[in-house]
Structure 1
């Protein structure tokens, strides 16, 4: 019909499947938290609602903290749960939108963090209190990656 033939169509289908599988693998998030943490469960539900496949393992607090430090986070960059997706660490209540952006842009960094547990961040309830999503570089420094809620600028 279009000159592809059966083998050409099979090759195209194979490429599409491989691409879809790679995309699906990149959207699988492994989360570590402590048992019974309601805000961790809220964040996991936020990710699932955004289409991520999430697994969760509960760890004792000391083991969870060691996992954070071993991944390259510094004191002041941590929160209550730690996720890993496609080679990046996602610490705390990072919005799914920013995780997707990170995976699309693939910056030279260890990952993203929302330190502490700010009100209004995913899993922490509703609030218009601002908070920052930080990108953590290989050397441990962090820069603002996004600010929430987005500040509206008025036209002058």
Structure 2
């Protein structure tokens, strides 16, 4: 292969990567509010950061009061609450669900994964099978299933 052909191949490959790089660089900040004693919340924030979202973690000793103030329905509570753009994120939501949310931009208040399902991002437990769980879309006095996962793998509905 001559030098010009190698240069063409390299430039073509770089051009194919550029849109993905730009998307990752333009992802919005995810602000995570967590109880100072919770470890899985930090593990979830690590997943979000590894997926290309800039993250900011804020220790919040009165996390339940924050959830009430932000309007997260108590039936959907988990261990941490986050914000991305105008949306709330409650619990161990997979990064792919957040990316999908920001792509389709439904008219909802946020997404939630109630509780702490085994295998969800930040809740991986060696030797335990991931649980099936739903990512719930919520508005004021309204919820519906947004996506379904087993661990970090999306399940078709």
TM-score range, shorter chain: 0.7 to 0.9
- The match for 2:119 is 120
Structure 1 spans left out of the alignment, 5+ residues:
1-19
Q: Is the 8 A contact 1:73 1:140 kept in 2?
A: no
- TM-score, structure 2 normalization: 0.75
Alignment pair present for 1:56 and 2:57:
yes
How does 1:2-81 map onto structure 2 within 5 Å? 24=26, 26-60=27-61, 63-81=62-80
Q: Is the 8 A contact 1:92 1:113 kept in 2?
A: yes
Alignment pair present for 1:90 and 2:89:
yes
Alpha-carbon distance between aligned partners in 2 of 1:106 and 1:136, rounded to the nearest angstrom:
13
1:152: how far off? 7.0
1:110: how far off? 0.5
Alpha-carbon distance between aligned partners in 2 of 1:43 and 1:134, rounded to the nearest angstrom:
17
Q: Is the 8 A contact 1:72 1:140 kept in 2?
A: no
RMSD after superposition: 2.0
Q: Indicate the larger mover: 32-41 or 116-125.
A: 32-41
- The match for 1:11 is none
Deviating 4+ runs (over 3 angstroms) = 150-153
Alpha-carbon distance between aligned partners in 2 of 1:68 and 1:140, rounded to the nearest angstrom:
15
Tell me: CA distance 1:59–1:133, structure 2 relative to 1, closer, same or farther (3 Å).
Answer: same
Q: How many residues align?
A: 129
Structure 2 spans left out of the alignment, 5+ residues:
1-21
- TM-score, structure 1 normalization: 0.76
Q: Is the 8 A contact 2:124 2:130 kept in 1?
A: no
Alpha-carbon distance between aligned partners in 1 of 2:37 and 2:108, rounded to the nearest angstrom:
30
